[in-house]
Structure 1
C-alpha cells in the first residue's frame, strides 16, 4: 500500500513526474493515435517561444493545437516532458539527413547548418532555447535528457559531414570522426545548459573556424567569408 507523503517530504518535481511516466507499465486497451503529435509539438514550440517556460501551460498548447487537454496529458504527463519532446522534434527536422546541405566543402556544409531560413526563424529558435534554459534553471536534474535532445542529432550530422570530407580527400582518412563529431555540439550544449548563455551565429562560427577546422588540419587558408 502506498504510504501517504508527510509534510517533511518534498513535493515531486518535473524529473520525478518524468521518471514515473517512463517507468509505468503500459495499459492494455485501444492503441493511441499519434497522428496529431507533430501539430501538438509545433504548438508547444510556438507557445514556448512566445511565453517562455514559466508562462507556458498545457492549456495554452491544447488551445493552440485545437486538441483536448486530456489528450496532451495522456501523451505527455508533464510540461517538462512535452517541452523536451518538442525540442527534440525541432532538432530532428533541422538534422534530417535527406535535407542536409552538400556544398562540396566541410566548412561550407557546417556553415550552411548555422544559417537560419530567415531572421524571424533565427529569433524564434533563440526564444525556444531561452525557454529551455529557463526550464533547466528550475529543474537542473533534466540536463541529461535535454542534452540527448540537443546534442545527439547534431553529432550525427557532423559524422556525415566529416565522412564526406574524408571521402573527398579534404581531411585525413585517419581522423577520429567519433570524437571530432562531438566537439562543436558538446561545446554549444555546455554554453546553453551549464553557462546558461545563448548560442548565436557568431559563437557557432567561432567553434567551426577556431576549433573544429584546425583539429582536422584545415587552417585559416581554407576559411572564406560567408
Structure 2
C-alpha cells in the first residue's frame, strides 16, 4: 500500500499571531516611566503609554497583562550610572567627595526618579514587589555610594568614630524623597548642597562652611 506524504500545509504548525517584537520593550518601559512621572499611577492608562511609545495597545497587553505588571517592570529596569566603588570621587575630604557627586547634568534625571516614585506611591502598599523595585532602583544606589564615602572618611579619622554610617548614608536620599513627595519642591543643586552642609556633615561631626558654595 502506498502512503502519500502529507502536504507541507498539513505538518506546518499553526501560527498564533505574530511573534512579540522584544525590541519595542525598552521603548514601552521608558514611555511608562515618562507617563508615571507626569500623571502618577492612578492617572496613567495603557492607552497613554502606547501612544507615548508609538505602539499599539494590544502590543503592550501581549507583554504585560496588567498596568501593575507593566509598572513593576518599568521601575525595576530604571537605569542609573553603574556604581563603581573603586572610582568614586576622592578629593581628600568628605565634603569635597559629596559635592563632587552633585553634577548638574544628573539633577533632572534624579528629580524624574523621585517623581516616578511619587507616581507609584499609592500602589506600593499593595504591591510589595513594586516597593522593593523602587527602593533598589532609586534609593539603594545613592545610599551605597554615600556609605562608601562615609566609611572612607571614618577610616581616615575625618568623622566621629562612633558615627552610624548606615544611618548617615540614608539621610540625604530620605530627605530628597520627602522634599519631592511631601513638599512637592524641586531638587536642585542649592538644596543638595544644603543637605550636605546643614545635615550630613554636622551629623557626622564635621565642621562646615557658613556659605553654601561649590567644592
TM-score class, shorter-chain normalisation, is: 0.5 to 0.7
Find 2:84's aligned residue among 94, 98, 108: 98
Q: After TM superposition, give the deviation of residue 161 of structure 1 in Å.
A: 1.8
- Aligned pairs for 1:177-216 (under 5 A) are 177-193=165-181, 195-201=182-188, 202-216=190-204
Q: After TM superposition, give the deviation of residue 172 of structure 1 in Å.
A: 4.3
Question: TM-score, normalization: structure 2?
Answer: 0.63
- Aligned pairs for 1:36-47 (under 5 A) are 37-47=25-35
Name the SS of the counterpart of 2:104 in structure 1.
Answer: coil
Assess if the C-alpha contact under 8 Å between 1:126 and 1:198 holds in 2.
Answer: no
Larger radius of gyration between Structure 1 and Structure 2? 2
Cα distance in 2 for partners of 1:129, 1:181 equals 18
Assess if the C-alpha contact under 8 Å between 1:106 and 1:161 holds in 2.
Answer: yes
Name the SS of the counterpart of 1:93 in structure 2.
Answer: coil
The answer to whether structure 1 residue 109 and structure 2 residue 94 are counterparts is no
CA pair 45-132 structure 1, distance change in 2 beyond 3 A:
same
Name the SS of the counterpart of 2:101 in structure 1.
Answer: helix
Consecutive unaligned residues in structure 1, runs of 5 or more? 1-31
The answer to whether structure 1 residue 133 and structure 2 residue 118 are counterparts is yes
Cα distance in 1 for partners of 2:22, 2:123 equals 27
Name the SS of the counterpart of 1:117 in structure 2.
Answer: helix
Give a deviation string over 1:190-212, Cα, whole Å, max 9, x none. 3444x252351233322211111
Which 10-residue stretch deviates more, 126-135 or 36-45?
A: 126-135
RMSD: 3.8
Cα distance in 2 for partners of 1:74, 1:157 equals 38
Name the SS of the counterpart of 1:197 in structure 2.
Answer: coil
The answer to whether structure 1 residue 166 and structure 2 residue 151 are counterparts is no
CA pair 175-142 structure 1, distance change in 2 beyond 3 A:
same
Give a deviation string over 1:106-159, Cα, whole Å, max 9, x none. 2233233333317xx62x6545644543543x5573597145543222211211
Consecutive unaligned residues in structure 2, runs of 5 or more? 1-19
Aligned length: 187
Assess if the C-alpha contact under 8 Å between 2:179 and 2:187 holds in 1.
Answer: no
Question: TM-score, normalization: structure 1?
Answer: 0.60
